[in-house]
């Protein structure tokens, strides 16, 4: 009960900041961005309309902007282009399957981010805070990753190691304190990231890819037969 109350409190505490954007979408419709946002400060903001219907923005090849802010109940997909900072807040949802994120990602509130592809270089952070959730299935992930509060970052793949030591599957609550996580993501993407946990109930979760699940399942059946 106490944990549930804390989660609700954190959802309201980590609210979206006020941002002056060059382009704001909050009409409940779908928009494609395949161009460079040139108006200062080159920020794009996405939010629900007045009836709380989600606005959807698709970032495609040719897109370029300094930052993207996703609020409320909005939906964002990224399949190409380049974005500086990405901020996912409130109850918004985002998925990344391509493109480059140059200057970090922040996921907060009760929002979610799924990463299937794309590139996240090693010079900035992926931070999950509040009750935010991140699922990493693929991509080229070379960044620092930190979980705070009760946030969860889940890795889907195989051969996970911390500083060269196998860690298996399941949930990790302790602070890796900057240890290097390596592994093969389910899409075949490369994973090499520093992990940090500064949260009370925050965690990293490691889930095996389907092929590994079949092998593990076969092993369990074999043990039972014996």
At residue 20 the predicted structure's pLDDT band, cuts being 50, 70 and 90, is low
* Residue 83 vs residue 1, higher pLDDT: 83
Instruction: Enter the pTM of the model.
Output: 0.86
**Residue 148, CA atoms < 13 Å, CB-side half-sphere:** 14
Q: 17 or 180: which carries more pLDDT confidence?
A: 180
Share of residues in the chain with pLDDT > 70 (%): 84
Q: State the pLDDT at residue 8.
A: 39
Of the pLDDT bands very low, low, confident and very high (cuts 50, 70, 90), residue 63 is: very high
Q: What pLDDT, on the 0 to 100 scale, is given for residue 215? A: 38
Statement: residue 24 has pLDDT above 80: yes
Residue 202 has pLDDT above 50, yes or no: yes
For the beta carbon of residue 38, count every other beta carbon within 10 angstroms: 9
The arithmetic mean of pLDDT across residues 99-115, rounded, is: 97
Q: Is the pLDDT of residue 85 over 90?
A: yes
93 vs 181: CA distance, rounded Å: 25
Whole-angstrom CA distances from 133 to 66, 82, 116, 152 are 23, 23, 14, 5
Q: Where in the sequence is the domain holding 149, given as residue range(s)?
A: 2-225
The count of domains in the chain is: 1
Calculate the average pLDDT of the chain: 87
Task: Return the pLDDT at 159.
Answer: 95
- Those residues whose C-beta lies under 8 Å from the C-beta of residue 157, and which sit 6 or more positions away, are 137, 183, 184, 185, 186, 191, 206, 207, 208, 209
Residue 18 binned pLDDT confidence (cut-offs 50, 70, 90): low
Taking only the tens place, the pLDDT of each residue in 110-158 is 999 999 999 998 878 999 999 999 999 999 999 999 999 999 999 999 9
Least confident piece of the model among 12-26, 43-57, 77-91, 137-151: 12-26
| pLDDT tens digits for range 147-189 | 999 999 999 999 999 999 999 999 999 999 999 999 999 998 8
Q: Which residues pair with 161 in a beta bridge?
A: 166, 182
Pair 49, 71: CB distance under 8 Å:
no
């Amino acid at each position: 009960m106490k944990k549930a109350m804390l989660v609700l409190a954190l959802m309201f505490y980590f609210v979206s900041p006020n941002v002056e954007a060059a382009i704001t979408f909050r009409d409940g419709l779908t928009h494609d961005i395949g161009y460079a946002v040139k108006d200062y400060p080159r920020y794009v903001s996405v939010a629900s309309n007045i009836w709380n219907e989600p606005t959807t923005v698709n970032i495609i090849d040719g897109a370029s902007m300094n930052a993207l802010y996703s609020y409320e109940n909005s939906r964002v997909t990224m399949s190409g282009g380049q974005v500086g900072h990405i901020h996912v807040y409130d109850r918004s949802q985002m998925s990344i399957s391509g493109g480059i994120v140059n200057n970090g990602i922040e996921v907060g509130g009760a929002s979610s981010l799924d990463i299937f592809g794309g590139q996240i270089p090693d010079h900035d952070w992926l931070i999950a805070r509040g009750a935010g959730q991140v699922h990493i299935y693929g991509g080229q992930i070379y960044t620092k990753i930190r979980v705070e509060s009760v946030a969860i970052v889940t890795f889907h793949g195989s051969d996970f190691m911390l500083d060269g030591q196998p860690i298996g599957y399941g949930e990790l609550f302790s602070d890796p304190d900057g240890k290097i996580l390596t592994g093969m993501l389910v899409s075949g993407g490369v994973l090499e990231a520093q992990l940090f946990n500064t949260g009370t109930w925050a965690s990293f979760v490691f889930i095996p890819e389907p092929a590994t699940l079949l092998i593990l399942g076969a092993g369990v059946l074999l043990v039972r037969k014996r």
